[in-house]
Structure 1
Amino acid sequence: MDCKAGFLVFITLLIGSLALPTPEDDMSIFFDHTDASARIVGGNEAAIGSHPHMVGLSSGVLIRSNFCGGSLISQRTILTAAHCIRHVYSFGSLTSSLRATVGTNRWNSGGTAYTISRNVTHPHYVHSLIKNDLGVLITSTDVVLNNLVQVVPITYDFIGQGVQARVAGWGNIRAGGPSSAALLELTTTTIDGNECVARAAQARVELNMMHAPHVEPHIEVCTYHSPGRGTCNGDSGSALRRVDNGQQFGIVSWGFPCALGAPDMFVRLTLPTPEDDMSIFFDHTDASARIVGGNEAAIGSHPHMVALFVGVNVKNFICGGSLITQRSVLTAAHCVDNVYGINSLIRSAGVAVGSTRWDRGDDYALLRNVTHPGYDRWTVKNDICVLITSTDVVLSSLVQPVALTYDYIDEGLPAIVAGWGATRANAYTMSEILLELSMTTIGSEDCVARVSEAATQEGYPLFTDPGIEVCTLHSPGFGVCNGDSGSALRRVDNGQQFGIVSWGFLCARGHPDVFVRISAYESWLKSVIV
């Protein structure tokens, strides 16, 4: 098992104050160099008022340039792609000429332009990989709503293949032609994640673009249209919406040379697989792996085990956790990031207990979460959270709270951890059965040295703090990874929990796995446990 934990760094590109260059010039490596200004290709002119959520982002003083789209999701909030924000962010602030225009099908005339007070880019955005490519812009004043300006509803449902979708943007009517002043729209269809991975891999070879990023279906959704139709540069940041109900489920992110028959990639607005935004600290070629080298757990051997999920009709596994009372579930704070909406938990978030299969057992709704006040997603410190269920969890031979120990644990202690996930590396499908792995704690100085060496090798500014973290080490081929996060690290001799799966480097490659040290949080835990 080798655990993921990720918090990325992003933004900063100097843009001229008078005018922007061609749309998304720094992203042109993923688009047709002979058609740098192309946008929606093969689309139709949109009817006035058909996309009232549409926002045109432009910059420049003497000459204004439209560089990206966006969607209005509240009267002060615009959702767009992180790489779009990167265009107008320099020296620690947004360019003063940035404007967001709403209420018109022509970005350069009509409508109302608003200034932007600040931006919030996803903390795990990786520009070089175009992953976690989303951010929001906050307008200086409320956007006035009317029949041409409306907030778009967002859906957090997992979107699979075969869903009819629509995207709009400003750009060329034909490849290589002049930029259209009118908003264009295109209807397209989502495709299966594995199919998208295969088509993108084929495109990299056929188009000689081996430098292009890999598709990660757990954080990206793909569409595919016939050659001659698709999205392109200037469409970035625009909304991908369901045709049937108009809900937004994606953001135009990246693609290959425009409309040549390769898939178009969009940011998913839901989190269908474990800790997708934590992937920077793990092998990108093994984004879905969890416990590696473990064995199938016997029924009832981990009665404290909890699966954190989101979704109603289709449940999506997020993380592990441990039942510590009939109302309290202990997990990692970064897991709760994945199910936390606007100031509250996503309504469809829940926990399942009583089964070695995460999608079975008994489900319980969540009342609230209590994340440690010192949690720092950048350094992955104080990565601890308690979830409170809405009702008491019914105990049985298969459902029991785990005993916590607040003793300080040092090196050489045999321990065991369990989690759901792939039984082998490079697999997208997770195991239906709970897996377990025995391991041994290592000394603090040894862990600090090994983590420092791994951080230098992998280029991540991470460190371990022995006062609040405990480490284990296994031979290569064994360890924790993404979906194990939040699960309990327990003593083999008495079953007491002394750690929480938190973070690590490349899965099962011989680097230490880092766990939250429960003994460091005794006072806080006793104050919040119900």
Structure 2
Amino acid sequence: MEITRNVILLFLSNIFLSQVPVESNLIQNKLENILNNNVTTRFTRIVGGSNAAVAQFPHAAALFLFLKTGESFCGGSIIHDQYILTAAHCLDDILRIEVQAGTLNIFQGVPRYRETVQPSHTRQHHQYDSDTLRNDIGLIYLMRPIPFSPAIRPIALPSRVTATSTFQGMLTTVIGWGRFEDAKQSLSDTLQFVRLPIVQDRQCTTVYNQFYNFFDTRTNICASGSHARSTCNGDSGGSMTIDTNGRPTLIGIVSFGSSTCEGGLPVAMTRVTAYLDWIAANSLVRC
């Protein structure tokens, strides 16, 4: 049976690259592009989360993005005093980035630990495809090292012995300043965190591969969303971590999911273990 244009449009309107949109008509334009050119949509994504405490997630970086089409926002993870790891789609069409580290509330005055740093340049994965969301990982190179403090510290990367691990059934922590409910159009003032379990890949492939193979089991991790807890608009590039012997370890980067934050659909993360060689080759980080 032929699938109508409206049915496809309705389905794809629920798929997003969790980056904050700058203009509402951009969403419709992107959806039209999907139908005409197989281009994926740029939307935005923590629902049901809790406020983080000062220095609870010292690796968190707030990325203020200045684009050709306006302003946007993403998250990132400090992995070295000169490198921020984020989603590649956060680095599309950027003119300038402002990186804030040690930030808890992004709209308050300068707190005790905040550091604002300008990047020297950025790098998207050489095989990143904005049409399919494959290899959705990128690096931000900073002009100067970020001084570490109790509220600013790098996150550990996974060891190579976990490269083939599925992490299924593990409970993760995902953070971000994204929208905390569908009705809210603005970002959360305060950094949020939510606990999400990793589920079987088929839960994501069932949802996101109906019309196109967005979810790649080799390079993505599937996290369970619920009607009460999930990621939402503005959380793109943020971290998914697990506890490894009492130390948080970065295993995922928020990539894409449902534009209906409270819809209960699963969330796709970039699988960090798949990119340890790329990170090592493009930075001073040993992994």
- Pick the TM interval, shorter chain: 0.7 to 0.9
Relative contact order (alpha carbons < 8 A, sep ≥ 6): 1 or 2 greater?
2
Q: Is the 8 A contact 1:3 1:482 kept in 2?
A: no
Calculate the aligned-residue CA RMSD, in Å: 2.7
Q: Give, in angstroms, the shift of residue 482 of structure 1.
A: 2.5
Q: Which runs of 4+ in 1 moved over 4 A?
A: none
In 2, Cα distance between the equivalents of 1:381 and 1:355? Answer: 30
Residue of structure 1 in register with 2:17 after alignment = 5
In 2, Cα distance between the equivalents of 1:480 and 1:367? Answer: 29
Give CA-to-partner distance per residue, 1:122-150, whole Å, 9 cap, x none: 9963449xxxxxxxxxxxxxxxxxxxxxx
1:518 matches 2:263: no
Residue of structure 2 in register with 1:377 after alignment = 130
Q: Is the 8 A contact 2:15 2:208 kept in 1?
A: no
Q: Give, in angstroms, the shift of residue 368 of structure 1.
A: 0.8
- 3-state secondary structure, aligned to 1:495: strand
1:376–1:500 distance in 2 versus 1, CA, 3 Å: same
- 3-state secondary structure, aligned to 1:520: helix
Q: Give, in angstroms, the shift of residue 379 of structure 1.
A: 0.7
In 2, Cα distance between the equivalents of 1:434 and 1:419? Answer: 6
1:301 matches 2:49: no
Residue 471 of structure 1 is aligned with which of 222, 234, 239? 222
Residue 350 of structure 1 is aligned with which of 83, 88, 98? 98
Q: Is the 8 A contact 1:451 1:464 kept in 2?
A: yes
Residue of structure 1 in register with 2:184 after alignment = 427
In 1, Cα distance between the equivalents of 2:76 and 2:234? Answer: 10
Residue of structure 2 in register with 1:449 after alignment = 206
Q: Is the 8 A contact 1:404 1:498 kept in 2?
A: yes
1:307–1:5 distance in 2 versus 1, CA, 3 Å: same
Aligned residues: 243
1:327–1:3 distance in 2 versus 1, CA, 3 Å: farther
Q: How do 1:75-474 and structure 2 match up within 5 A?
A: 125-127=30-32, 278-279=42-43, 290-310=45-65, 316-339=71-94, 346=95, 348-359=96-107, 360=110, 361-406=114-159, 407=162, 408-452=165-209, 456=210, 461-474=212-225
In 2, Cα distance between the equivalents of 1:473 and 1:304? Answer: 23
TM-score using structure 2 length? 0.77
1:338–1:358 distance in 2 versus 1, CA, 3 Å: farther
Identify unmatched segments of 5+ residues in structure 2.
Answer: 1-13, 20-26, 34-40
1:432–1:446 distance in 2 versus 1, CA, 3 Å: closer
Q: Give, in angstroms, the shift of residue 403 of structure 1.
A: 0.3
Q: How do 1:38-49 and structure 2 match up within 5 A?
A: none
Matched to 2:270, the amino acid is V
Q: Give, in angstroms, the shift of residue 382 of structure 1.
A: 0.1
In 1, Cα distance between the equivalents of 2:149 and 2:72? Answer: 23
In 2, Cα distance between the equivalents of 1:400 and 1:3? Answer: 33
Matched to 2:281, the amino acid is S
Give CA-to-partner distance per residue, 1:145-191, whole Å, 9 cap, x none: xxxxxxxxxxxxxxxxxxxxxxxxxxxxxxxxxxxxxxxxxxxxxxx
In 2, Cα distance between the equivalents of 1:124 and 1:330? Answer: 29
1:298–1:6 distance in 2 versus 1, CA, 3 Å: closer
- 3-state secondary structure, aligned to 2:89: helix
TM-score using structure 1 length? 0.43
1:462–1:476 distance in 2 versus 1, CA, 3 Å: farther
Identity %: 28
In 2, Cα distance between the equivalents of 1:3 and 1:418? Answer: 20
Matched to 1:469, the amino acid is N
- 3-state secondary structure, aligned to 1:4: strand
Q: Give, in angstroms, the shift of residue 463 of structure 1.
A: 3.2
Q: Give, in angstroms, the shift of residue 443 of structure 1.
A: 1.8
Identify unmatched segments of 5+ residues in structure 1.
Answer: 8-121, 129-276, 280-287, 340-345
In 2, Cα distance between the equivalents of 1:491 and 1:482? Answer: 22
1:309–1:6 distance in 2 versus 1, CA, 3 Å: closer
